[in-house]
Amino acid sequence: MAQPLNPHDLAIWFVSLLRQRTATNDAEEVRERFREAYSQIETIYRDGTPAEREEIYEELAEQLVPDLPTWEFSCVANTCGMGVEAGTNADVALPAILERLPSVFTGAKLLHDKLKEQIGTPHLEMIPEDEWEAAAAKSTEAAQLIREYLAISFLSRAAMAMLCRDARLRRFARNQPELTQSVVNAREFNRYAFYLREVLQCVDGEELVVIDLVRNLGFRVRMHAVRNNCQLFTLLQDALLNHATAANWEGPKPSPLLASIAKSERMIPSVTQEEWDAAGVVGETGIFDTGIWQFYQWPALQPDRALETWDAAAPYQPWWVWGELHPADIVEIDGMRIVLLGQPEMPRTWQMDFFAPVHPALRSGITVEAVLSKESVEAWLKRICTMPREPNPLPPVEST
């Protein structure tokens, strides 16, 4: 192996070799030199000091320029993502990556359709990456399409590595309409667009008032990386029934295993069959969590303090919090979203798919910020009961 280069020269050499790989259609002698450069970068990330890791990462981020072709850009971005996983500052490389993503997602459908014809399978996401090399050998066109397809995954992985570690950066990304729209449009044609959509639509740092009508308790909670209301239910049940106020709770208990998955404390592959069986969460068609309460929006509480049931709401839909929707859909009062907890009207379950981790670094959760005083709970209930209300405009969403 050649003498290690300084970070600036190593970053430039790395990009030069990426360009040569494209120009020579991955000639073996070029790939060998590329592996040497990559190995030097990997060694710095693994064994270098924090300052050394930051230096090579920043030099690589400097190479993320607009005129760098997408394949080469994505490879550099992916290598920057490795640096973030090693502890470097995501702020340096993320803006350039987010700026490039909309253009690659815009072509995701056409690329998907062309590649299906070349590879002969509609399920591109099922192809292991170590098998793409053989597919690329079929033709120059196939090789180019595969590079474009892998470029989306490399760019998306880099973005995920950065966004999943920092709620502040997620808020920054959500304020880019072109990015969010391109991710939505491409989610059916590329699984990484789906993952990014899940990250971009999650709720970070927002407060929620939760009033348990059965126990006459109120809470102010804060949501962290909550992707949908099913995940909210699982996290709320865990947070509230493991709180000191639940010391005398005698009802059903939340599943610690499912809560740990919803919080990304456990990855699904690490769970043994014995653990699934012991948790009692395996159904005929998958793994499910179960509602301990009925989750209502505030208009369900009538002026006489009775809850509007499914039957009473007919022919309109009841003011439930629908699991398949999102916390942003919960109706506000005075700028605060409110969830009411009542006795279950009917059994409600939701599949683990709704809260399974999309990335190990995306830590979801609910923090109980405060237990409301009895006076505060009463004030909220009086405010709700005097509010004008209309039939729920949302259609019902089927639940299992």
Average of pLDDT values for 192-213? 94
Buried-state track 55-79, b at ≥16 Cβ within 10 A, e below 16: bbbbbbbbbbeeebebbbbbbbbbb
Helix axes 140-163, 70-85, angle to 10 degrees: 30
Rounded-to-integer distance, Cα 113 and Cα 154, Å: 20
The total of other beta-carbon atoms located within 10 Å of residue 388's CB is 5
Q: What is the pTM of this model?
A: 0.88
Per-residue pLDDT, 1: 47
What pLDDT, in 10s, does the model give residues 54-80? Answer: 999 999 999 999 999 999 999 999 999
Average of pLDDT values for 15-25? 91
Question: Residue 399 pLDDT > 50, yes or no?
Answer: no
More confident residue, 2 or 33: 33
Rounded-to-integer distance, Cα 357 and Cα 370, Å: 27
Question: Residue 125 pLDDT > 80, yes or no?
Answer: no
Rounded-to-integer distance, Cα 261 and Cα 286, Å: 15
Mean pLDDT of the chain: 91
Question: Residue 390 pLDDT > 90, yes or no?
Answer: no
Rounded-to-integer distance, Cα 219 and Cα 242, Å: 13
Per-residue pLDDT, 284: 87
Average of pLDDT values for 114-137? 64
Q: Structural domain boundaries of the chain?
A: 7-201, 207-385
Question: Residue 301 pLDDT > 90, yes or no?
Answer: yes
Percent of the chain scored above 90 by pLDDT? 75
What pLDDT, in 10s, does the model give residues 226-244? Answer: 999 999 999 999 999 999 9
The total of other beta-carbon atoms located within 10 Å of residue 188's CB is 12
pLDDT band at residue 400 under the 50/70/90 scheme: very low
Question: Residue 144 pLDDT > 70, yes or no?
Answer: yes
